[in-house]
């Protein structure tokens, strides 16, 4: 049940379904542009997400310049500041992190790790990317339309989002909603692929409880996204109707700048419920792939099996399920019925338990390991620190009454950047250092990597840790300039300036990383097929980078779980998943 | 071992920063010190966990980093340890949640003797309304809003006639008396936010929200908007002045009622009309 017993492995049944012939590219266009190979689609997704992510990074510098030195930069006014924060948030959460983890890592790793030749619906998979690209282009176009992008905040709360007091009311908000709708359509095509591939296309012997945690994380996150994104989809369509057709889904009777509006009867809070029914699972849609990937990074680079694999799997599934009943903790001060607070505070704090189990199991994996302080491992350690920090401050904001003074302050900004900004990005970066050799056949430069890690990790920590205390002091978020307020001491402005300087430094370190990515592509040390001496299937491909179809004539057969590191009595400190057990009993017992 | 040391320094530095931070919550001005206590409990519990986890991790890096000949242990799981850790975590979570829910119960239970007052937000200013001599506030409807009726009071409701309307001016409150703050908005979401009060709540067009508090010290406090409300969100300011009862009464005597304000415009209207005829 937990594992296929030894006898069953010795006699793995033949595949029940004959292999389907893959579509083979016939020209340069179908090989590199309109490719149906999940690996090419993964790279397309990753490059597009990174490109728009760079735009969001630059926006964050502009925001920080304004916050650190208010009034110094005449080219940033209140409207632009709001447009910057809105686009920064939306791009980072959806168009970068969601797309990168699921479209990028999901596409590359799922077929390789489960031992499939490709995704089960390659053509739909290709369409998924092109619709995603269209969504990104529509989003980026808002920078050039009259009125500019919307400045409603990434939460897009109505009525404000579609009224004239908010920048981007003309075209910005309409195109933002259209872009979100496109993104969800594109994602759904990819998401169905990832789920069906994991469920149906695993190679022989690859039971669910032998999947690497990376696959568990991406799989669970995809299932969640398929259930959560529809709420955002309908909310976007309804708000689009409110804006364009004059319906009143979210619009009550109201007076705008002294003018009676034609709206009436709608509920702004309904939008918030729909938004956060998507928005909270979204946090875990980003976090669960990170949880899975970091588990594999830690295990591989500590040369030790992940501690408590089964508990890790159940924690991922449990967190995924619980995350659908906590959404209104984003709405404690929204004006919803105050009694809801009891329920949502309780569910929110319960989710801390499976999350804590994951943290314990990561650090217990290090215990009595053989820790190689490679760049991926450093990023994994950086992830643990920032995630523990951000997770614990979540216990403040989830505990309803504690949230009352802290909500809408810089404490919230610091918290969510730590927990779903910095921590997942640590994993993304670690994962890039880890899998780059498989994708390109070359290693990234180690010295540049370590420089990149230390500046990014320490810098990000210096940015967001002190920021909590600005929020505790009471400084509200989404203010382009705090102005004259009695309770804010001058030292708070000094701290803001300090944070800005550090943020620019961290930004610079990312340029070093980009240089490393390009430079190593040509000059990097050749990596061979399995430079980290890892067990999972993607490292056992006949070619590196893997060719179309991933495997040679025969699909690999899986005989063991993904974590046979340092098995007592084994010749090496790792045993690949597709290596048969020679003599039972000698090579350890997988759970 | 440099890496282990840096990791440990991050943990130690975070704790020291917390202790010596010059940025801390504002001196409280209402009865909600319970909220501050709950935050303190949360800081203690999370602080201990944070330090323990990071220090343990740093120790592992120090003790088990790769050396020639080292071999990792092979122990897939340890049910007992995992259960104990889960139970310990559950206890810690309970120790934060229980006081939190008790205080939340207080927060949502408005005392019967609380005076109702109203705060209304619109882009980008605050208005206030007090119940007047009859102690009751009149009904409102956003459709009544006009130049002579900025808060949208129902002109036919007698309870509203003596309501005191404060436009573009500061709100005064007597110290030591519980108030239920009713919150309304005419256009978009706003949030009546005074850091020293700790309590806050969004104002939502189309509905009335509320919170309650008892001011416990006199002083002048800045009102900010804590829910993004458009371009001038950051400039939406007012002041609340908490003062002794006698000062409050003196201020109150100088304020205009709805009847006086609308009466004045009614007279003007009548004059205009008769002049027209």
Contacts of A255 in chain B (CB under 8 A): 122, 142, 145, 152, 186-187
Sign of the torsion angle spanned by Cα atoms A480, A279, B206, A234? positive
Closest CA to B61 of A509, A290, A384: A384
- Check: CB of residue A300 under 8 Å from CB of residue A216: no
- Check: CB of residue B172 under 8 Å from CB of residue B206: no
B217 plus B103 within the same structural domain: no
B202 plus B98 within the same structural domain: no
The mean of the pLDDT values for chain A is 93
- Check: CB of residue A54 under 8 Å from CB of residue A119: no
Entry pTM: 0.94
Task: Check which CATH number belongs to the domain holding B241 and give it.
Answer: 2.60.40.420
Tell me if A255 and B145 make a contact (CB, 8 A cut-off): yes
B99 plus B123 within the same structural domain: no
A504 pLDDT above the threshold of 60? yes
Report if residue B73 sits inside a domain. no
Residue pLDDT, tens place only, B96-141: 999 999 999 999 999 999 999 999 999 999 999 999 888 899 999 9
Report if residue B171 sits inside a domain. yes
Question: Helix (H, G, I), strand (E, B), or coil: what is residue B137?
Answer: coil
pLDDT score, position A458: 97
pLDDT score, position A483: 85
Q: What is the phi-psi region of residue A303: left when phi exceeds 0, alpha when psi lies from -120 to 50, beta otherwise?
A: left
Q: In a mutagenesis test of the B interface, which of A352, A384, A403, A404 is the best target, namely the one with the most B β-carbons within 10 Å?
A: A404
CA distances to A54, A157, A309, A506, B180 from A454, rounded to whole Å, are 20, 38, 30, 10, 51
Tell me the shortest Cα–Cα distance from B229 to chain A, in angstroms. Answer: 6
Report if residue B157 sits inside a domain. yes
pLDDT score, position A32: 86
Q: How many residues does chain A have?
A: 591
**Can you spell out the DSSP letters for A291-306?**
HHHHHHHHHHHTTSPP
B231 plus B153 within the same structural domain: yes
pLDDT score, position A591: 44
Residue pLDDT, tens place only, B21-35: 999 999 999 999 999
The mean of the pLDDT values for chain B is 92
pLDDT score, position A4: 45
Strand partners, B202: B191
Tell me the shortest Cα–Cα distance from A126 to chain B, in angstroms. Answer: 39
Q: For A267, which residue in chain B has the nearest alpha carbon? A: B206
Tell me if B108 and A341 make a contact (CB, 8 A cut-off): yes
B205 plus B129 within the same structural domain: yes
* Domain span at B13: 2-65+79-108
pLDDT score, position A1: 36
The two beta strands, B171-174 and B238-243, are parallel
B81 pLDDT above the threshold of 60? yes
Which of the four pLDDT bands, split at 50, 70 and 90, describes residue A71?
Answer: confident
pLDDT score, position B268: 55
Report if residue B72 sits inside a domain. no
Q: What is the phi-psi region of residue A232: left when phi exceeds 0, alpha when psi lies from -120 to 50, beta otherwise?
A: alpha
Comparing CB atoms, the residue among B61, B145, B209 nearest residue A381 is B61
Alpha carbon distance A341, A357 (integer Å): 25
Tell me the shortest Cα–Cα distance from A396 to chain B, in angstroms. Answer: 7
Contacts of A322 in chain B (CB under 8 A): none
Which of the four pLDDT bands, split at 50, 70 and 90, describes residue B1?
Answer: confident
B86 plus B161 within the same structural domain: no
Report if residue B172 sits inside a domain. yes
pLDDT score, position A29: 86
Q: In a mutagenesis test of the B interface, which of A81, A82, A151, A160 is the best target, namely the one with the most B β-carbons within 10 Å?
A: A160
Report if residue B10 sits inside a domain. yes
What's the whole-number mean pLDDT along residues B163-180?
93
Give the architecture (CATH level 2) of A33-206.
Up-down Bundle (1.20)
B161 plus B83 within the same structural domain: no
B142 plus B216 within the same structural domain: yes
Residue pLDDT, tens place only, A215-262: 999 999 999 999 999 999 999 999 999 999 999 999 999 999 888 999
Alpha carbon distance A15, A22 (integer Å): 17
B174 plus B265 within the same structural domain: yes
Report if residue B99 sits inside a domain. yes
What's the whole-number mean pLDDT along residues A64-77?
91
Structure tokens at A350: 């319960």
pLDDT over 90, % of chain B:
81
Alpha carbon distance A344, A282 (integer Å): 17
B132 plus B17 within the same structural domain: no
B121 plus B100 within the same structural domain: no
Closest CA to A578 of A527, A518, A530: A530
Tell me if B42 and A302 make a contact (CB, 8 A cut-off): no
Peptide bond into A159 cis (omega under 30): yes
Question: Helix (H, G, I), strand (E, B), or coil: what is residue A204?
Answer: coil
B49 plus B125 within the same structural domain: no
A590 pLDDT above the threshold of 80? no
Report if residue B174 sits inside a domain. yes
Number of domains in chain B: 2
Residue pLDDT, tens place only, A91-150: 999 999 999 999 999 999 999 999 999 999 999 999 999 999 999 999 999 999 999 999
Q: Where are the domains of chain A?
A: 33-206, 265-372, 373-527, 533-591
Only one residue has tokens 């039972």, namely A584
- Check: CB of residue A520 under 8 Å from CB of residue A445: yes
């Amino acid at each position: 049940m937990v594992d296929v017993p030894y006898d069953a492995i010795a006699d793995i049944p033949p595949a029940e379904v004959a292999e389907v012939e893959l579509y083979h590219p016939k020209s340069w266009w179908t090989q590199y542009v309109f490719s149906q190979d999940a690996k090419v689609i993964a790279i397309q997704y990753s490059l597009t997400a990174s490109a728009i992510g760079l735009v969001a990074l630059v926006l964050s510098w502009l925001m920080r310049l304004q916050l650190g030195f208010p009034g110094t930069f005449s080219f940033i006014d209140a409207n632009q500041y709001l447009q910057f924060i809105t686009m920064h948030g939306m791009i980072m959460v959806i168009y970068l992190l969601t797309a990168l983890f699921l479209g990028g890592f999901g596409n590359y790793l799922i077929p390789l790790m489960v031992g499939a030749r490709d995704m089960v619906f390659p053509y739909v998979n290709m369409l998924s990317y092109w619709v995603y690209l269209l969504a990104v282009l529509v989003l980026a176009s808002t920078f050039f339309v009259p009125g500019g992008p919307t400045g409603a905040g990434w939460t897009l709360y109505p009525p404000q989002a579609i009224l004239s007091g908010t920048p981007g009311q003309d075209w910005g908000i309409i195109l933002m909603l259209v872009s979100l709708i496109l993104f969800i359509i594109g994602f759904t095509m990819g998401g169905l692929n990832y789920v069906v591939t994991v469920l149906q296309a695993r190679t022989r012997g690859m039971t669910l409880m032998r999947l690497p945690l990376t696959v568990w994380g991406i799989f669970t996150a995809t299932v969640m996204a398929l259930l959560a994104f529809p709420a955002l989809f309908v909310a976007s369509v309804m708000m689009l109707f409110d804006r364009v057709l004059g319906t009143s889904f979210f619009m009550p009777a109201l007076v705008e700048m002294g003018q009676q509006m034609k709206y009436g009867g709608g509920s702004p809070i309904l939008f918030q419920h729909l938004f956060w029914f998507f928005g909270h699972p979204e946090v875990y849609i980003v976090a669960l792939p990170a949880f899975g990937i970091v588990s594999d990074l830690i295990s591989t680079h500590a040369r030790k099996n992940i501690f408590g694999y089964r508990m890790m799997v159940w924690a991922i599934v449990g967190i995924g399920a619980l995350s659908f009943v906590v959404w209104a903790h984003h709405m404690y001060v929204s004006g919803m019925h105050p009694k809801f607070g009891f329920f949502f505070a309780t569910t929110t704090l319960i989710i801390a338990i499976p999350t804590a189990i994951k943290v314990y199991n990561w650090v217990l994996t290090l215990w009595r390991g053989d820790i190689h302080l490679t760049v991926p491992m450093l990023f994994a350690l950086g992830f643990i620190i920032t995630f523990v920090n951000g997770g614990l401050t979540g216990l403040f904001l989830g505990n309803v009454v504690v949230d009352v003074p802290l909500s809408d302050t810089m404490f919230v900004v610091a918290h969510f950047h730590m927990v779903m900004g910095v921590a997942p990005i640590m994993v993304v970066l670690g994962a890039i250092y880890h899998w780059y050799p498989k994708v390109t056949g070359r290693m990234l430069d180690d010295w540049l990597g370590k420089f990149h890690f230390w500046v990014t990790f320490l810098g990000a920590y210096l940015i967001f840790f002190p920021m909590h205390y600005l929020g505790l002091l009471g400084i509200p978020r989404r203010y382009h300039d705090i102005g004259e307020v009695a309770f804010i001491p001058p030292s708070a402005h000094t701290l803001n300036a300090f944070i800005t300087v550090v943020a620019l430094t961290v930004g610079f370190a990312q340029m070093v990383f980009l240089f490393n990515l390009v430079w190593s592509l040509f000059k990097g040390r050749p990596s061979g097929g399995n430079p980290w001496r890892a067990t999972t299937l993607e490292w056992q491909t006949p070619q590196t980078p893997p060719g179309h179809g991933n495997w040679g004539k025969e699909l690999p057969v899986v005989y063991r779980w993904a974590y046979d590191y340092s098995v007592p009595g084994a010749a090496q400190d790792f045993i690949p998943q597709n290596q048969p057990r020679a003599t039972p009993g000698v090579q350890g017992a997988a759970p | 071992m440099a890496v282990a040391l840096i990791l440990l320094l991050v943990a130690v530095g975070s704790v020291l920063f917390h202790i010596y931070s010059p940025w801390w919550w504002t001196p409280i001005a209402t009865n909600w010190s319970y909220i501050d206590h709950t935050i303190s409990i949360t800081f203690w519990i999370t602080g201990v966990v944070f330090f323990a986890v990071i220090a343990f991790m740093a120790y592992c890096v120090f003790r088990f980093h790769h050396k020639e000949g080292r071999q990792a242990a092979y122990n897939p799981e340890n049910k007992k340890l995992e259960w104990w850790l889960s139970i310990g975590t559950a206890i810690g979570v309970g120790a934060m949640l229980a006081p939190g829910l008790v205080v939340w119960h207080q927060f949502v239970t408005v005392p019967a003797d609380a005076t109702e007052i109203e705060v209304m937000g619109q882009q980008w200013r605050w208005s206030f309304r007090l119940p007047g001599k009859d102690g009751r506030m009149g009904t409102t409807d956003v459709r009544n809003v006009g130049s002579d009726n900025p808060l949208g009071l129902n002109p036919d409701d007698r309870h509203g006639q003596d309501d005191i309307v404060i436009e573009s001016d500061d709100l005064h409150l007597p110290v030591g008396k519980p108030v239920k703050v009713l919150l309304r908005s005419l256009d978009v979401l706003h949030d009546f936010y005074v850091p020293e009060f700790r309590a806050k709540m969004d104002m939502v067009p189309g509905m009335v929200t509320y919170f309650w508090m008892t001011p416990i010290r006199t002083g002048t406090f800045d009102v900010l908007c804590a829910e993004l409300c458009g371009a001038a969100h950051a400039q939406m300011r007012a002041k609340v002045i908490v003062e002794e009862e006698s000062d409050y009464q003196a201020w109150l005597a100088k304020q205009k009622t709805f009847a006086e304000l609308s009466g004045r415009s009614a007279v003007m209207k009548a004059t205009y009309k008769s002049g027209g005829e």
